[in-house]
């Protein structure tokens, strides 16, 4: 299992950590979810195509809705949430990319974790950037245990294997980590995803939904990371 002490789960966007590792988070009351891209767009007329398709009037309304759903799910899990307030790609302002690594380093340092859960980097360009930033930060936090989790994503077949192989090519070994034998992951994760499901019903323009999301039955997957150059 993991080290004792504070666990910080890095969530690229709102709800990513809940979808990817809610069961583990529920089993660790010392956990904190650090959400990177949770900032509110400044312009009142800023709206993405996805926001518009969901019936939101603007990006601020969409982000506030996602924040509310995220806060509700974290409350049910019994864990703390911290937001970095960087803007997502769809609302991005010039120079935002350059802030990521430094801002993430400061946020992680302030939380003083013993274990960091980081996204594998599958779902989108934003997820890949956050994953890569975490790998860069590891040099500053060598006494921290680094574990990566699989995001809920409609990735191409073989995407997970390709990502793991890419890490190995950089001398980063990802060893499968089974947490299901020690914690009731499925029960806690279903509870959190049910919260997201119920809150999603209140979205503007949402279609009536009567069943839990398909991702509710998806097993959580984790890998412990080690850097080969550390040995000898």
What pLDDT is attached to residue 52? Answer: 83
Average pLDDT of adjacent 10-residue blocks, the chain of 232 residues: 84 91 84 94 78 85 90 89 90 64 95 96 89 95 94 79 95 89 63 63 54 62 87 47
Q: How far apart are the C-alpha atoms of 131 and 148, rounded to whole Å?
A: 9
The pLDDT score that the predictor gives to residue 232 is: 43
103: helix, strand or coil: helix
CA 186 – CA 27 distance, rounded (Å): 11
Residue 203 pLDDT: 57
pLDDT given at position 228 = 82
Do the Cβ atoms of 149 and 20 come closer than 8 Å? yes
Cα separation values, 97 from 18, 23, 45, 106, 206, Å: 24, 31, 22, 15, 32
d(CA 218, CA 221): 9
pTM for the model stands at 0.87
pLDDT at 93: 57
Is the CATH code 1.10.274.10 the one for domain 7-230? no
> Any alpha helices (H) in 112-204, and if so which ranges?
125-137, 159-169, 185-200
* Distance from C-alpha of 126 to C-alpha of 89, rounded to nearest angstrom: 7
Helices 16-26 and 59-77, packing angle to 10 deg: 10
What are the structural domain ranges in the chain? Answer: 7-230
Contact 31, 9 (CB under 8 A): yes
Are 79 and 29 in contact by the 8 Å Cβ rule? The answer is yes
The residues, ordered by sequence, that sit 6+ positions from 115 with a Cβ below 8 Å of its Cβ are 2, 3, 5, 6, 7, 8, 144, 145, 146, 147
Contacts of 119 (CB under 8 A, 6+ apart): 10, 11, 12, 16, 20, 127, 130, 131, 134, 148, 149, 151
In this prediction, residue 193 carries a pLDDT of 67
Structure tokens at 136: 């860069």
């Amino acid at each position: 299992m993991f080290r004792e002490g504070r666990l910080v789960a890095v969530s690229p966007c709102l709800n990513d950590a809940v979808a990817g590792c809610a069961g583990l988070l529920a089993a660790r009351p010392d956990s904190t979810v650090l959400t990177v891209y949770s900032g509110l767009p400044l312009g009142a007329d800023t709206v993405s195509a996805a926001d518009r398709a969901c019936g939101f009037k603007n990006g601020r309304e969409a982000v506030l809705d996602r924040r509310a759903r995220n806060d509700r799910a974290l409350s049910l899990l019994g864990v703390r949430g911290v937001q970095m307030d960087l803007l997502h790609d769809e609302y991005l302002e010039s120079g935002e990319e350059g802030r990521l690594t430094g801002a993430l380093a400061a946020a992680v340092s302030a939380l003083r974790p013993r274990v960091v859960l980081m996204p594998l980097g599958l779902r989108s360009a934003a997820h890949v950037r956050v994953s890569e930033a975490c790998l860069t930060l590891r040099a500053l936090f060598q006494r921290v245990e680094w574990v990566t989790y699989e995001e809920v994503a409609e990735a191409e077949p073989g995407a997970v294997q390709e990502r793991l192989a890419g890490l190995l090519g950089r001398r980063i070994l990802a060893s499968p980590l089974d947490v299901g034998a020690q914690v009731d992951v499925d029960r806690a994760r279903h509870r959190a995803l049910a919260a997201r499901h119920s809150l999603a019903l209140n979205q503007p323009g949402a279609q009536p939904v009567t069943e839990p999301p398909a991702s509710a039955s998806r097993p959580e997957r984790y890998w412990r990371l080690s850097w080969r150059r550390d040995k000898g």
